[in-house]
Amino acid sequence: MTALFVKTRLAFAVTTALFCSVALFAAGSSAAIPAERDVLPAGASPQLYQLTIDPDLQKLTFQGELTLDFNATQALDELVLNALDLTIIDASLDGKKVNAEVVAETQRVHFKAPVSTGKHQLRVRYQGKIYEQSAGLFVTDYSKADGSTGRMLSSQFEPGDARKLAPMWDEPSHKAIFKISIIEPKGQLALSNMPEQRRQPLADGRARVDFAPSVKMSSYLLYVGAGDYERISGRSGGIEHGVVAKKGDAVKGTFALNASYQLLDYYNDYFGVQYPLPKLDHIAVPGAGGFGAMENWGAVMYFEGTLLLDPQFSNTSDKQEVFAVVGHEMAHQWFGNIVTMQWWDDLWLNEGFASWMESKASQHFYPQWHAELGAVGSRNYAMFQDAQETTHPIVQPVRNLAEANAAFDGITYSKGLSVITMLEAYLGEDAFRAGVRAYMQKHQYGNTVTSDLWQALAQASGRPVETIAKDFTNQMGVPLIKAVKAECQQGNTTLTLTQGRFGLDAASKQPQQWTVPVTAQVAGQAAARAEIRGDAPQTMTVPGCGAVTVNAGQTGYYRVDYSDALFADVVKGFAGLPAVDQLGLLKDSVSLGYAGYSDISRYLALTQQLPADANPIIATDVVEQLEGFTDLYRGLAGEQAYKAFALKKAQALFAKVGWEKQPGESDNTSILRSSLIGVLADLGDGAVIAEARKRFAASQTDKSVLPGDLYGVVLKIVGTQATAADFAQLKTLAAKTSNSTEKRRLLGALASAKDEALAKQALALILTDLTPKQFGPGLLNRVALEHTQLAYDFYLANQAAFDERLDPLRRDGFDASLLGASREAATATLLRQKAATATTKPVKTAYLEAAAGIERRLDRVKRIPAQVDAWLKTQR
């Protein structure tokens, strides 16, 4: 699954996330399942599900027929399966009718009949529910070119919503074969994981479509869908690849289809296990959810914005994101689908590796995008999450589905990616790949725990990887390596280091130790490596003499803090460092300054050394950070002076790139241009705002005036600065368009209005037919950025309506995402009160994180502007 807790670009990442006791042993695991997990009773397991689904898209119900072959390893008083929102019509076990009791509180159905040891068959007829939020079997509505409304059927079953489709063992360790049949709605195309095997016309104009049996797989990887689809396809790597989208849109998936060809060959080679299915569809679904895509085996589901590229409205960043998401979901076909974690404790084996592989593949096919810089951004985001009291280890105990839903966060994805990056650098690329191949081959079609991976890597590399790996996956927190001093001795540098812990609050600063693989380098010399343990000072010898970069190459998961003398040397040599080290130093220095470990002037000193030909990703990061400081200056005496400084820096960079794309320009320069235009407008550059308005007006008669790379940022400027007339025009355009990308961006512009009266109008539009239901929560979040209390009050007044629009990944504690934008201490107090009464750990965490974010902002307002002002005086 691709999560949307952080907006990911390939170029860079920015921050915008009743129990039954059993003793069951899983394949690939030597440990019993903990008793506190909410799992089904032991004693039986599925072999084959034959499932027929007959959907009614208007009534939002479906009829289901299930034939389930299973094996009992012991005598049972009754058969207990997962089920939710299902009404059992009748059931039989081995041909004899049985009674069934659905227990909603435990999400289970009890078939009341004794079960002997051996093979059995359960038959069930039942009725289920089709949802309007993206969980279980769900629909999305969209506008057609003729003005009518279309409706598509899709599914999302991770982590535990396959139980809404049929009674089943809805746990990742219970793999089985699935044979799916769909009664295809008239005029639509039915889709599932496997190719269509047989089509039988029905008297009412519909058709029964039978799909080939699947490979052995976990229930959460099922896919059931139907829609007004068309498909573009081709063959590569011995299989058929397809992009499926609503009619008229499939061509927008050409880039994704070509990426699928590239990635399949690359992954087949890297993993050493061939993709086993005859087809791989990438399915574009209208709407939006709490995630971007889902790795259903052979039928990957994406919301349109993460798969399709519209030449008029999509930008270069969108293209990079499409490649990243396709790369992520295809990596899951191995890490997740062929080899599956035994339980949600080890979710990172799916998501961390998929995140890492998307970056690795991007670097392979598009080195000019500099995915290694994106990995630094992801690491920084992970460290932000990991330096709070609410953090958790990568491998964490998960007791139930609520906790499994919450596990899809920055620790699982971004810290997982970062730790894998560190381990690959520690072991070496070839040894690491050999270990991954051995792991994949040994456990294919089975389930694993994290220790299985460590064993494979240790055997392949001959190195004791487990000590380092366990420290970083079983412990929470961020190591802080302090470079204390460096002495030149006989042509080498003796570097003294100590280890501590980086934290944003008292809890995350509690002492903790890791075995940290540290890399250090003098520019132009070979890198040196050492393992730092304990809190006593340690030395390492670095070839050459001169300024030393600690964490050279930025593959380590730790922050670096330099003594004043060593940092002064780093500043002098900053311009000559590799781009990845420049970005790492910038991220560490601003984070240490924000957290109070050092003065923010260190970060500003580095920005002054930014070379004229700086990598566009780094230039983008710097201007966005400088603009970000203005949030801390609101209403302070030095606000205008600081804005003038930041404006001057951004204008100097913009003078080099201008409004127009140049021949041969890199993709990342295009992203920099868009970022600069947005930053300059936010800083009040009148010329940029006027030009944006001018181009938007001209685009109403000549769309070429606003190519995709400019469309989004110009629209946001018009929306942010909107007058009543602008707002009315944007609303009219949103009502007229049937293009989902254009509509999404127009609605986003409306929700960005600074004017409070217009923001109220934007809120009113969220619950009208103008706004697709699944877009509503995101637009409410957008309004809350500028008008927090207004958005929160609207949410409270319409909570039931928003609950209908929120899938389980976002519903509980959703108000924390609104209130977290506040700048009021009273709001932080309210959030902590909500946390105190929260009934689940994930909701409590959401409130605590939002409260802590407000408190950190208020603390920074007291410290950072004064430090910046003092530094600015030294520059005059």
d(Cα 76, Cα 98) in Å, to the nearest integer? 14
Classified as helix, coil or strand, 187 is coil
Q: What is the largest CA-CA distance in the chain?
A: 90
Q: Which helix (H) or strand (E) holds 517?
A: strand 516-522
d(Cα 699, Cα 703) in Å, to the nearest integer? 4
Q: Which two tokens stand for residue 495?
A: 């570097």
* Residues sharing a CB contact under 8 Å with residue 772, sequence separation 6 or more, in sequence order: 140, 141, 142, 286, 287, 288, 743
Residues paired with residue 517 on neighbouring β-strands, in sequence order: 531
389 annotated active-site: no
% helix, strand, coil for the chain, step of 5: 45, 25, 30
Residue whose entry in the numeric block shows the structure tokens 């953090």:
391
Classified as helix, coil or strand, 599 is coil
Provide the b/e sequence for 36-47 (b: ≥16 CB within 10 Å). Answer: ebbbbbbbbbbe
CA dihedral 825, 827, 832, 834 (to 10 degrees): 170
d(Cα 372, Cα 376) in Å, to the nearest integer? 7
d(Cα 469, Cα 356) in Å, to the nearest integer? 16
Q: Which helix (H) or strand (E) holds 439?
A: helix 429-443
Residues paired with residue 542 on neighbouring β-strands, in sequence order: 493
d(Cα 47, Cα 565) in Å, to the nearest integer? 66
d(Cα 733, Cα 678) in Å, to the nearest integer? 22
Classified as helix, coil or strand, 141 is strand
φ, ψ at 130 (rounded to 5°): -105, 130
CA distances to 540, 785, 819, 823 from 862, rounded to whole Å, are 39, 21, 21, 13
d(Cα 106, Cα 338) in Å, to the nearest integer? 29
Among candidate residues 171, 304, 321, 329, the one labeled active-site is 329
d(Cα 219, Cα 254) in Å, to the nearest integer? 30
**10 Å Cβ neighbour count for 540?**
19
User: What positions carry a catalytic annotation?
Assistant: 329
